Amino acid sequence: MVTLSETERQIIESSIRDIKDFPKEGIVFKDITTLLNNKEAYGVLMNHLYERYKEYDLDYIAGIDARGFIFGAALAQMLHLGFVPIRKKGKLPYTTISEKYALEYGVDEIEVHIDAFGKKKGARVLVIDDLIATGGTANAAATLVNQTGAKCVECCFVIGLSFLEGIEKLKEKTEVYSLIEVH
């Protein structure tokens, strides 16, 4: 199993900007826009993901709205796979299935087209996003993939906030890989 070298980790990690007290006081927001506009760091990241997943025998990459689209679509193209967007409720034009998940104050919902993974039963799907915190969105995404008849074989995140325990909850459903873990 391919993991980041220490040099790769440093390149990626040093390109992520911390924004204190955003979106509210006490939160340190991990800003990946500085990773995306750093051609070396983005290249290291995408090459690492390609090397990790090229032997996974995947059928699709599914990206979670919206930053998961950036990594997922690029990785799908590199691996010559189809890309499937998992969107916020009401954004997809065809028949969908949806899954609700808890937020700090309330609930939200994501959806996917019912035929997103084609007709192949058990299509192997990698779900990708920029960050996992409490894991609500990622759990809902993995559930949606499995409800279509496909199989979520792993969820991948650039950043994992392991102190919030979302990774551990998600591991009950599927394999989880975070490139950078924040403890």
pLDDT tens for each residue of the chain, 183 residues long: 788 999 999 999 999 999 999 999 999 999 999 999 999 999 999 999 999 999 999 999 999 999 999 999 999 999 999 999 999 999 999 999 999 998 877 899 999 999 999 988 899 999 999 999 999 999 999 999 999 999 999 999 999 999 999 999 999 999 999 999 998
Residues 5, 21: Cα–Cα separation, whole Å: 31
Least Cα distance to 127 among 60, 36, 47 occurs for: 60
pLDDT of residue 183: 86
Q: Which residue has the tokens 């459903």?
A: 173
Residues 95, 169: Cα–Cα separation, whole Å: 29
For the stretch 114-139, what's the b/e string if a residue is b when 16 or more beta carbons lie within 10 angstroms of its beta carbon? eebbeeeeebbbbbbbbbbbbbbbbb
pLDDT of residue 134: 93
Give residue limits of the domains in the chain. 57-182
Q: pTM for the complete prediction?
A: 0.96
The string of pLDDT tens digits covering residues 45-81 is: 999 999 999 999 999 999 999 999 999 999 999 999 9
For the stretch 40-74, what's the b/e string if a residue is b when 16 or more beta carbons lie within 10 angstroms of its beta carbon? ebbebbeebbeebbeeeebbbbbbbbebbbbbbbb
Peptide bond into 140 cis (omega under 30): no
**Which of the four CATH numbers 3.40.50.2020, 3.30.70.600, 2.60.40.420, 3.40.1260.10 does domain 57-182 have?**
3.40.50.2020
